[in-house]
Structure 1
Amino acid sequence: MSAQGPSSDPAFRRRLVLGSLAGLAVAGAVSAFERHAHQRPPRKQPDGQYRTLKLIWPHSDIAPVLAVAYQKGFFTRYSLEVETLSAAQNGNEALDALAAGKADYAVAPALTWLPRLYAGLPASLVLGIQPGTFRLLVRREAGITRLEQLVGRTVAMPDKNAADKFFFAIMMRRKGINAMGGITWVDMPAEQMVSSARDHTIDALVAHDPLAWHMLSDHADLFSELVSSNTGHYADRTSLILGVSQSALTADPDAATALTLALRDAAKWASKHPDDAATLVTGETSDLVAETTRAMLRNEPAINPVIGHVLRNQMAQYCDELQLIGQLPSTEAAASLAHRYTRNVLTD
């Protein structure tokens, strides 16, 4: 499938428009559109130079956009050879690797990126790849049916996965619930969560896919999903973000442009072909694993890449929400923070 947009040939546009509508009114509308398009800044294109890049992406083995980028030739289209480092188990570990210079590009949740950027991590956010997949699972026997019933309870979260905690703390804060202070949050390795729930040591857990999905599907007798990011306006907002170190962006801005375009185009392809993308992820794995992965991806929000002012506006929303729960200071406007932390590598 071509990643190029509609033909820019003027005769083609005239045939397309005049073939479906007629009259001077339509011609005037087309003229107005063309004047508006002419005034927009041109999209920056990469220089076509061959590059080898290092990208760190937690759970890269089940990332549909990354699988599409590799297997459908989007990296090749932009003259890229991308080495993906998958040792990181979560966003914070990915950003630790970025800070240590093990890679120049990293993918992590927005709620992980933003506090780290405020703390001084020298990087810029360039592409929102897809929405989040956060899930809050409650122990069935705990009798929890509403968010406010979590106050005073013990909720587990995977080691260092602060984004999971922040997402649900924000959701609860919107409902007047002080989750940061009113809930006992416990860092816990994933392998201990099931036994702790069976022992009634924890009442709930917060996590994101694939861990949350496997907990829910493999232990349906123990956990039920109370709320998630898969519905409502949360499902439309980007979460998984591509960022680039400031040193790499300064040294080779065209590389950032090429990688951003490759992953954006791959994300658009995955959005239009979700089942095919799921098949690319599962590859030659067992039928059981493949079906579980396909079911997980079908249950998640639609992939929708965002860039430029849309990305910046959504990061401003996140900054505002992080201020609500005390993870960013309120001394600076959220919009100013978002402007500082994002970069449109297609126009800048």
Structure 2
Amino acid sequence: MSHPLAALPRHRTARDIPVDPTRRALLGATLAGAASLALAPAALADDAAHCHAAGTAAVPPVPGPARKLTIAWNQNSTCTAAIPVAKEKGFFARYDLDVDYVNFAGATDQLLEALATGKADGAPGMALRWLKPLQQGFDVKLVAGLHAGCMHLLAPRGGPTTLDALHGKTIGVTDIGGPDKNFFSIRLKEAGIDPESDMQWRQYPADLLPLALQRGEVQAISGSDPVSYLHKRQFDLVEIDSNMNGSWAQTACCVIGLRGSLIRNEPAVAAAVTRAILDAGAWVACNPDEAGRIFKPFAARASAEDIAAMLRLQGHHHQVLGPPLHDEVVRYADALKQIGVFRPSLDPARYADKVTQDLFAT
């Protein structure tokens, strides 16, 4: 429907003691079995933690008749896989919510205006796409970080393989103000390269980015899934960087925003829809194959297996609420100051206070 709107320490081995092959095999099997038994509880506990949504506060179903809500989303982005999963697997119904979707492909400020004015009640979106326009004062609050990962910086084989190698080069993007351009500007700045004066950016339609690489007009391209995943495979590209590298792998790239009036007037509904989406996101982290099948109708160019592979590469086990969400917004705001997106005088902590809301504070 259209609308204008995720090592054990090394041990020394008795390499000088002769062990016959049979004893070696038996010993290896015994040690491997013992190690498995020792590690299994921790591994199982870790997996179980990834399968549960962030937060410990109990969220009851909304009382009375099912509460109708509208969620605006970009149905072409695998970042939003939790949205159809929440409906298909009954996470919205668990909280007595009747949710309709609005496919939104317009400008971010138009989306935020739609939320602020009640044309939609909530939306998932990329933090680095939302943070700048939120300065305009829209009555919208960020209430959760949904997952990490999904942006990629790619180059042809034989091309640059490190951020340092991009000094003096040109990167192709689909949007000069897009989240991937901002993120990799941050990463280049961290590598000591000025993303404005030490290199260039050039904008192309997504389908023309690989052609620009082949023609030598750009030396690298950036984007997000599913387009980046498909470009990498089809054109045999290599990954220079992504937001699943380093500490950014523990920073949410996709957030959940709700209209401020819903939070103020119906806090139980706001908490319920947020928890339902987070429950769905945690389920995606542990069930990527089925999630891929559920999302397939919205991704015409990708197979269910492709989508499952993308979801495995993304950090759907990473979710944040409350103070951790606030801290991640502070980090983003400070990084955006460093690359000139936010003015130097902006106070990242005060900004995060303004645009985030802890729905589950006790």
Classify the TM-score, shorter chain. Answer: 0.7 to 0.9
- More off after superposition, 317-326 vs 275-284: 275-284
Q: Residue in 2 aligned with 1:299? A: 313
Q: Deviation string for 1:104-162 (max 9, x for gaps)?
A: 31211111121111232321100111113110012335x31221232322211113651
Residues 300/166 of structure 1: CA separation in 2 closer, same or farther (3 Å cut): same
Q: Which residue of 1 aligns with 2:209?
A: 193
Cα distance change, pair 338–46 in 1 and its aligned pair in 2 (3 A) = farther
Confirm or deny that 1:144 pairs with 2:160.
yes
Verify: 1:164 aligned to 2:172, yes or no: no
In structure 1, the residue matched to 2:120 is 103
1:132 alignment partner, one of 131, 142, 149: 149
* Structure 1 residues 287 and 175: alpha-carbon distance in aligned structure 2, compared to 1, 3 A threshold: closer
Question: Is 1:218 equivalent to 2:221 in the alignment?
Answer: no
Aligned residue pairs: how many?
305
Q: Is the 8 A contact 2:112 2:140 kept in 1?
A: no
Q: Percent identity?
A: 30
Q: Please point out which of 81, 101, 105 is paired with 1:64.
A: 81
Aligned 8 A contact 1:319 1:334 in 2? yes
Q: Does structure 2 retain, via aligned residues, the 8 Å contact 1:58–1:91?
A: no
Aligned to 1:281: 295
For 1:305 and 1:343, locate their aligned partners in 2 and report how far apart those are by CA, in whole Å.
15
Q: What corresponds to 1:25 in structure 2?
A: none
Q: In structure 2, what is the equivalent of residue 265 of structure 1?
A: 279
C-alpha distance in structure 2 between counterparts of 1:204 and 1:100, whole Å? 40
Whether 1:256 and 2:266 are equivalent positions in the alignment is: no
Residue type of the partner of 1:238?
A
User: How much is the aligned-residue C-alpha RMSD, in angstroms?
Assistant: 2.8
Q: Secondary structure at the match of 1:321?
A: helix
Which residue in the other structure is 2:3 paired with?
A: none
Q: Aligned pair in 2 of structure 1 residues 274, 47: CA closer, same or farther (>3 Å)?
A: same
Aligned to 2:18: none
Give unmatched runs, 5+ long, in structure 1: 1-40
Alpha-carbon deviation of 1:65? 1.6
**Secondary structure at 1:54's aligned position in 2?**
strand
Amino acid in structure 2 at the alignment position of 1:335: A
Mean Cα displacement is larger for which, 61-70 or 170-179?
61-70
Deviation for aligned residue 1:204: 1.4
**C-alpha separation between the residues in 1 aligned to 2:345 and 2:300?**
52
Choose 207-216 or 79-88, whichever is displaced more: 79-88
Once structures 1 and 2 are overlaid, which stretch shifts more, 241-250 or 124-133? 241-250
TM-score, structure 1 normalization: 0.78
- 1:179 and 2:184 equivalent? no
